[in-house]
A and B are shown apart, each in its own frame.
Chain A
Amino acid sequence: MNGQRLGTIVGLELTQRTRSVAWYVLLGVFALLLLIVTALSFLAWGSAYRPGGAIYSTIVYITLLLVVLVSPTLSGNAINGDRDAATLAPVQVTLATTLEILIGKFLAAWVTGLAFVAVSVPFLVVATLAGGGAPATIAVSLLVLVFEAGIISAIGVALSGILSRPLFSVATTYLVVAALVIGTLIAFALVGFTLRSEVTNHYRSIEFDQYSGDTFPCMPGETPSSEYPCDDDVEVRCGPWQTSTYEVPRFDHVWWLLAANPFVILADATPTQYDEHGNPSDLFGQIKYGVRSAQQPPDLEQRWDDCAPPSESERTVPAEVIDESTPSWFVGMALQLLLAAALMWWAWARTRTPAGRLPTGTRIA
């Protein structure tokens, strides 16, 4: 890997992109869409209590959506498009190595994707000024946007090296993006419901039919008072223990599938602000709570006893659930990195020269 050659390839790619009018049109359309979305989210959340967080998270999500939708077109024909235009071989025949070409094209596609993130910054500033996110939220959400733009650029460049037809590789990049955004949700739900476990539920109740007095008995743990004159002398009879079973989905086995979703990564990585009840105060936090809850294994042995005094309720607040669970953004990013690196390696093997076996229909020059 040579810095000068790598820099030259990145420069070459960026020069070609910035000299096309289409690219500026695309940036303009992107800015226009963000403008509309920002205006709409101000209108939509205007009446909410402290709308800043909601507006901010909406705009960040829309930005992520647009970046995810635009990036495949910026990278999905990097290698095979050059091969079609007969401009790949003249680079391969220089001292630039296959790895430098791949990495250079990836970096160029990434920087191009980041231009879209840069366009979104003014809108994020507006949302922040309107009372939105904390500095940590802004910093982390921007970092995740940058990371996701990079992952999709890497996948696009890699697929363009693996598949020989540009149209096909762009479409495949879109399919991979769709798999990450929607496919993870579907897989999470379907696999989660497929892996079921049996929950055994033991319960017993008080047999009121056996009691015929006029007063009403005190329940276990209750004491009579003037406002609540229950009869402490009557002994309530408890029924026999009964057992029933039912099945629950095991999302705790497949939560990592959901973790690979870019939107989940964004939500999960962002530090959550809680309200006074320990509930997350923005969209990111609520999604994060949902994903982290999925990590909790279900209780497979449940007991329900009416005759025992009610135990102190152990309802866990979202803040605790989140604190005690594995950060899923970390897992998600690791999975995405693994996918991108594996595809890159495959593309490297396919693009390497002197070329051995060629994919059918490929011309080297």
Chain B
Amino acid sequence: MSTPSPGPQGPAPGISAEPGIVVQGVQRAFGDVQAVRSVTLRAHAGRVTGLVGPNGSGKTTLLLMLASLLAPDAGSIRIDGVDPVTDPQAARALLGWMPDALGAWNSLTSRETLAVTGRLYGMPRAEASVRADVLLGEVELADLADAPARVLSRGQKQRLGLARALVHDPRVLLLDEPASGLDPQARIDLRMLLRRFAAEGRTVLVSSHILSELEEVVDDAVFLMAGVTVDPARVEAASRRARPWRVRLAGTEAAAAAPSVAAVLRLPAASVGVDRRDVVVSFESDDAAAAALRELVAAGLDIVEFAAAQGALERTFLDLGDGRPPQALPPDAGADESGAIS
């Protein structure tokens, strides 16, 4: 990440020139409802940042503020160094926003929708129309280019919304639940598109609660709980906690395999759970899991599958959601949780 060097007169305090998204102590209330209490985050250029949080945690409100549509009550926001509150025009030229509630002009075709959006970003007519065709190809809507938006399926509308956010080739992409309604192929395409964007040095912030989805695309994750971004140290602690692994033995029922796995790993039988075909064992770290695998193989068990039962994001998310400070838990607390899965 290359930061432009501040000019001779420029004290350039801290954040102003940094590419990417920098949010500092942002708050926003709607009447009595404090939707966003305190958000501090950084989404770096060249990386895909996931915004993770339960429903109602303030993800959409935060994205609206980043998209220059909503003013924060307190705190500061910089989009590639631009303040969207004081200079929304400049911020809008930089950012592409894909809302969660996807509104399409029903009587316009996909091509017209994109061309109109291009015109609203100041493109000449010819350029806007060329850009529309390129984007339609990119989101696989070329076949439906001349169909009115009202006949599009939810997933197709979602892709049109994504194309609309990309019309002006934004440096910063804000995507609110982009994968909802997409079929598996479209999800893979979306993932590749986001990776490509990041590789081009752009900033991508994606909110979602489909964690397995995010897991495969994000470089960093920001956790938002009840309007507050979770302290990175707490996230770090939560992600270090024991996580369950699935172990499957060839030709053996999980119920029968569980005692032998427990015996080899010298664990109390009660701490080894069963989930459908798999034995579930918790390990505190990847190293512990690797050591256990070696032991199991050395003991002659026919291991055919040995994999983390949950993604790291999902695990962290669930741990944070407990509302208990993770550091207060005993280090082997994961044991009873793996039991809870069975």
Contacts and interface: CB of A to CB of B under 8 A. Distances in A.
A364 B101 contact: no
Contacts of B102: 86
A105 to B, nearest CB: 13
B230 interface: no
Interface in B280-305: none
A358 B69 contact: no
Contacts of B147: none
B47 interface: no
A342 interface: no
A36 interface: no
B120 A91 contact: yes
B70 interface: yes
B30 A4 contact: no
B265 to A, nearest CB: 52
Contacts of A8: 116, 119-120
Nearest to B68: A354
Q: Which of B65, B70, B120, B168 has the most CB of A within 10 A?
A: B120
Given A4-B122, A89-B99, A360 B31 contact: yes
Contacts of B68: 93, 353-354
Contact of B101 (A5, A86, A97, A356): A86
B71 A93 contact: no
Given A16-B108, A354-B71, A94 B99 contact: no
Given A5-B119, A94-B121, A355 B71 contact: yes
A37 B251 CA distance: 90
Contacts of A315: none
A269 B99 CA distance: 50
Nearest to B124: A4
A86 B99 contact: yes
Nearest to B31: A360
Contacts of A82: 103
B103 A95 contact: no
B152 to A, nearest CB: 14
A19 interface: yes
A5 B117 CA distance: 10
Contact of B69 (A11, A12, A97, A364): A364
Given A89-B103, A95-B93, A97-B89, A354 B120 contact: no
Given A8-B116, A355-B71, A364-B70, A19 B103 contact: no
A353 B70 contact: yes
A12 B114 CA distance: 12
Nearest to A87: B103
Contacts of B105: 12, 16, 87
A23 B107 CA distance: 13
A111 interface: no
Nearest to B63: A365
B88 A353 contact: yes
A257 B86 CA distance: 43
B103 to A, nearest CB: 3
A92 B69 contact: yes
Contact of A364 (B64, B85, B106, B119): B64
Q: Which of A5, A8, A12, A360 has the most CB of B within 10 A?
A: A8
A365 to B, nearest CB: 5
A354 B84 contact: yes
A20 B105 CA distance: 12
Nearest to B115: A8
Contact of A15 (B84, B88, B112, B120): B112
A353 B91 CA distance: 12
A5 B118 CA distance: 10
B67 A93 contact: yes
Contacts of A91: 120
A355 B70 contact: yes
Contacts of A356: 71
Contacts of B88: 353-354
A364 B70 CA distance: 8
Contact of A16 (B93, B101, B107, B122): B107
Nearest to B107: A19
A205 to B, nearest CB: 75
Contacts of A88: 103
Contacts of B99: 86, 89-90, 365
B241 interface: no
B262 interface: no
Contacts of A12: 105, 108, 116
A355 B72 CA distance: 9
Interface in B127-177: 161, 164, 168
B104 interface: yes
B104 A355 contact: no
Q: Which of B65, B68, B70, B168 has the most CB of A within 10 A?
A: B70
B37 to A, nearest CB: 18
Contact of A89 (B69, B85, B121): B69
Interface string A67-101: 00000000000000010011111111111110000
Contacts of A4: 119, 122
Nearest to A84: B103
Contact of A365 (B69, B85, B104): B69
B92 interface: yes
Contacts of A87: 103-105
Contact of B120 (A5, A20, A355, A360): A5
16 contacts: A5-B120, A8-B119, A16-B106, A16-B108, A90-B97, A90-B103, A90-B117, A92-B69, A93-B67, A94-B92, A95-B122, A96-B120, A354-B68, A354-B84, A358-B30, A365-B69
Interface of B: 30-31, 64-65, 67-71, 84-85, 88-89, 92-93, 95, 97, 99, 101-108, 112, 116-117, 119-122, 161, 164, 168
Question: Nearest 4 A-B pairs (CB), nearest first?
Answer: A86-B103, A354-B71, A87-B103, A94-B120
Given A97-B89, A354-B65, 9 more contacts: A5-B120, A5-B122, A89-B103, A93-B92, A95-B122, A353-B88, A354-B88, A355-B69, A358-B30
Interface of A: 2, 4-5, 8-9, 11-12, 15-16, 19-20, 82, 85-97, 353-356, 358, 360, 363-365
